[in-house]
Amino acid sequence: MFDYLHNLGVENSVGVPDSTMKYFIEQGLKKNKILIATREDESIGIAVGMSLAKSHSLVFMQNAGLANSISTITSLVQLYKIPLIFLVGWRGYLKNDAPEHKKIGEIQSKILKLVGLKSKIVKEDNWKSCCKWAFDQISNGSSCCLVIRRLFDE
Amino acid sequence: MNRMEAIRLIAKKIGNQPIVSANGYVSRDLFETYDKESNFYMIGSMGLASSIALGVAIKNPKKRVYVFDGDGNILMNLGSLATIGMLRQKNLIHIIFDNESHESTGGQPTHTTKLDIKNIGKSTNYRVFETMSKNGLQTILNKIQNTSGPIMIIIKISKSSNTSKRVGYNPTKIRDRFMNYFD
């Protein structure tokens, strides 16, 4: 998925790691095309700067980080209409995920709707079309979100 | 020296090079004293000016990118100093106007009344300069012409008595002007 998005034209990925997308991040690190920041809102700030420099950018984070970032999304990304792809790990999707993920896992879809971020859930049979959709969104100036469900226990 | 005087002096010196300015009075004063298309006035998202500037700087390694920050702003995003320092971003110049207060919300004290950002800057790989006078600032601005970054300039400023007007552009206009500069 990392290579596919990169080949479409997503030149930068900035974020805070989540185990849900560890292969995505590993591939990005291997290619030296990923930047890990200290917080999710910081990641968004850096990606906005890259987009202002006319380079398509993605931010990755766990859904806890999405909650941390709401003000940054409304008062930076949406205020200035900067197109970014958000790649968000859906912790708390499984009932038996760790307790700290339960609440945010339940309200994540509502948060995305309230914030006004269009989203798609990435699955094994649609990931390519999701990537294309997301790239079309940012090419047309809109931000969007790709959600990856956490389907494994660890 | 107050913020307006310091901003006028620096903005004139750096001319047409890009600046990302923090929300609150920093952006307002820059807008009033030296408005130009390569100024990105960050009017929301407090704390993130240096992160936005870092993104711009990474993609434009041949241009110097300036951050006009406040003490309240930088304290809100100290992680940004860690990321900039980890990358040793050569073309980033981080100017902090330190009035030891959250002036635009009523002058409440910030932590810089009791601690020194200079030391945080040093331990995050910045070359750090500090001054409270116009002459000192002139000397630093001359000196950094040939210094490799990341550079931090801390300017101790007095609280201002005048209030600059709000930035008069729509955010999308600020964005478009800034992006056009990079054409």
Grade residue A103 by pLDDT with cuts at 50, 70 and 90. Answer: very high
The whole model's pTM is what? 0.96
Percent of chain B's residues with pLDDT above 90? 90
Residue B118: is its pLDDT beyond 80?
yes
Counting one residue from chain A and one from chain B, the pairs whose CB atoms sit within 8 A come to 106
Chain A residues near residue B53 by CB distance under 8 angstroms: 49
Chain B residues near residue A69 by CB distance under 8 angstroms: none
For chain A, how far is it from start to end, CA to CA, in angstroms? Answer: 22
pLDDT of residue B162: 80
A33 in contact with B at a CB cutoff of 8 Å? Answer: no
Q: Are A119 and A145 in contact (CB under 8 A)?
A: yes
The C-alpha of B66 sits at a distance from chain A's nearest C-alpha, in angstroms, of 12
pLDDT of residue B160: 79
Chain A residues near residue B49 by CB distance under 8 angstroms: 45
The C-alpha of A121 sits at a distance from chain B's nearest C-alpha, in angstroms, of 28
Whole-number average pLDDT of chain B: 95
ipTM score here?
0.95
User: DSSP class of residue A153?
Assistant: -
pLDDT tens digits along B51-97: 999 999 999 999 999 999 999 999 999 999 999 999 999 999 999 99
Q: Are B13 and B7 in contact (CB under 8 A)?
A: no
Contact check, Cβ <8 Å, B59/A38: no
Structural domains of chain B, ranges and CATH numbers in brackets: 3-181 (3.40.50.970)
A50 in contact with B at a CB cutoff of 8 Å? Answer: yes
Structural domains of chain A, ranges and CATH numbers in brackets: 2-149 (3.40.50.970)
Residue A91: is its pLDDT beyond 90?
yes
CA A47/CA B92 separation, integer angstroms: 16
Mutate to test the interface with A, among B83, B94, B181 (most CBs of A within 10 A): B83
Contact check, Cβ <8 Å, B175/A47: no
- The order of strands in the sheet holding A12-15 is A34-36, A12-15, A57-62, A85-90, A144-149, A118-122
CA A147/CA A60 separation, integer angstroms: 10
